[in-house]
Structure 1
């Protein structure tokens, strides 16, 4: 039974970057660097949007 036959490293790395970005938002808020928290929040949503469009194109192809 091969559980990892449909595993995609690219999508895993994108998801990891999104989680890391949102974790950095919490760190920046803890340091009271609100501009950096906003930057990481925008970056997280941008990476997530890129991953979702990539997945949508992959499923339609």
Structure 2
């Protein structure tokens, strides 16, 4: 990928939105959605770390 900083920035924004949405889902007492978004945040973060590791 040529645009690595842009990709990493978008992944970081997605992770932050995912974890923020966990708080919103907990506030609405939709626990299954909170669990899903929590796992999704870690999956996106793991993908970003994998990309960063292959870069070096």
TM-score by length of 2: 0.92
**Alignment partners' CA distance in 1, 2:24 and 2:33:** 9
**Alignment partners' CA distance in 1, 2:55 and 2:23:** 32
| 2:27 match | 30
Structure 1 unmatched ranges of 5 or more: 1-6
| 1:47 match | 44
Asked whether 1:15 is paired with 2:12, we answer yes
TM-score by length of 1: 0.84
- Structure having the larger proportion of residues in helix: 2
Q: Give the superposed CA RMSD.
A: 1.0
Count of residues in correspondence between the two structures? 53
